Amino acid sequence: MAKVLVIGGQGTIGQAVAAKLKEHGLHVVTAGRTHGDYLFDMTDPASIATLFAQIGELDHVVVTAGETHYAALPELKPEDNLKSVNSKLLGQINTVLIGQHRLNATGSFTLVSGVLKDRPIARGASSSMVNGAIDAFVRAAAYELPRGIRLNSVSPTVLTESAEKYADYFKGFDPVPADKVANAFVRSVLGIETGQTYTVYG
């Protein structure tokens, strides 16, 4: 049975992805800072390395974690923008850089970006920047991964389950259910494509 690590597997998207991958017969383990089968911090490369060493044999990694800072541009401070870079961007990219040496042949990574790279909103510039960088990394890095390991990303719009939380930001957006977003992750893990970004914009 193929084994998949879902980083952020206790979160809104991660829970839906983990459930769907289990339905497809995968052995799912989860990781997060405070919840999950393994505890670690994606912003710390040493912690990522320890996580992979603890898990051992692994076929696939899905990341549904990473935070970005929302602020109007005149109030966006370099140190707050750096928080987005260190968490959602470098957290995921360092997971690939470190994890590529640990995954079994023909495994896969699936990262998460988001709609703001294509459809900007007020206070969203830091998120747009990070999401665009994630997808650009995916497109380029997929060519060079060893042993047939694939790399894709999923770019969701706001989820139905998160619509209330982000109501002030995503005005006029049509939310999509977590179940539909989770299916894009499943397609990446169980499919054959690489270097792709699956948009789920409703």
- Is 8 near ligand NAP (CB under 6 A)? yes
Please state, in angstroms and rounded to a whole number, the distance separating the CA atoms of residues 31 and 68: 19
- Is 99 near ligand NAP (CB under 6 A)? no
Q: Closest approach of Cβ 114 to ligand NAP, in Å? A: 4
How would you list the strands of the sheet with 108-112, edge to edge? 38-39, 27-32, 3-7, 60-63, 108-112, 150-156, 197-200
What pairing do the DSSP bridges indicate for beta strands 27-32 and 108-112?
A: unpaired
Tell me the window of 58-66, 76-84, 98-106, 133-141 that interacts with ligand NAP (CB under 6 A).
58-66
Tell me the window of 18-26, 85-93, 95-103, 182-190 that interacts with ligand NAP (CB under 6 A).
85-93
- Is 65 near ligand NAP (CB under 6 A)? yes
User: Can you read off the two tokens belonging to residue 194?
Assistant: 């690489």
- Is 5 near ligand NAP (CB under 6 A)? no
23 burial (CB, 10 Å; 0-12 / 13-18 / 19+) is: exposed
Please report, as ranges, the residues that interact with ligand NAP according to CB under 6 A. Answer: 7-8, 10-14, 32-35, 41-43, 64-68, 87-88, 91, 112, 114, 156, 158-159, 162
